[in-house]
Amino acid sequence: MATGCSAPYSKPDGSSPFSSPRLIGTTWRAVEILDRKASFFPGQKIDAHLILHSGGRVGGSTGCNNINGVYSHKAARLSFVSLGSTRMACSPKIMDQERRFLGAMRSTAAYEISGRRLILLDRGGRAVMELIPVR
């Protein structure tokens, strides 16, 4: 009778594939924005996502426009300031999702990582956006 005696799998950087993703340096794709499922609409070229870079810069895409700005992070607090974006026009559905995505970012005051989900919270502790790691 064989028993499980193989070494546990680890990623090339030595971390476990089952560990919680890191807040900084991970590409986070939106799956829910302001209580609505994030969608990929016809004509959309990329998923709505963000990445927090070390040094306090944030970048990503709303699904239509590229975004950039600055974030502040201390313990469980997280906020986005000086957000800017390109100004391309997309279909009304994509633009509506973009408004919700940017609104959720602007109202973020804290975060939590639950399993493999990043949950952005407003000042009242309400979830405004849920994201999953994609790399």
Q: What is the residue type of 69?
A: G
Q: Which residue has the tokens 């609104």?
A: 103
Helix/strand number for the chain, H first, E second: 1, 9
Task: Give the domains, in start order, of the chain with CATH numbers.
Answer: 27-133 (2.40.128.270)
135 residues of the chain, pLDDT tens digit each: 444 443 444 445 544 455 789 999 999 999 999 999 999 999 898 999 999 999 999 999 999 999 999 999 999 999 999 999 999 999 999 999 999 999 999 999 999 999 999 999 999 999 999 999 997
pLDDT given at position 5: 44
pLDDT given at position 43: 86
Neighbours of 96 (CB within 10 A): 13
Pairing of strands 66-74, 36-37: unpaired
List Cα–Cα distances, 41 to 12, 23, 90, 95, 97, in angstroms.
35, 27, 10, 10, 10
Spatial CB neighbours of 25, under 8 Å, sequence gap ≥ 6: 51, 52, 53, 54
pLDDT given at position 4: 42
CA distance 9 to 99: 41
pLDDT given at position 17: 54
pLDDT given at position 135: 75
pLDDT given at position 62: 96
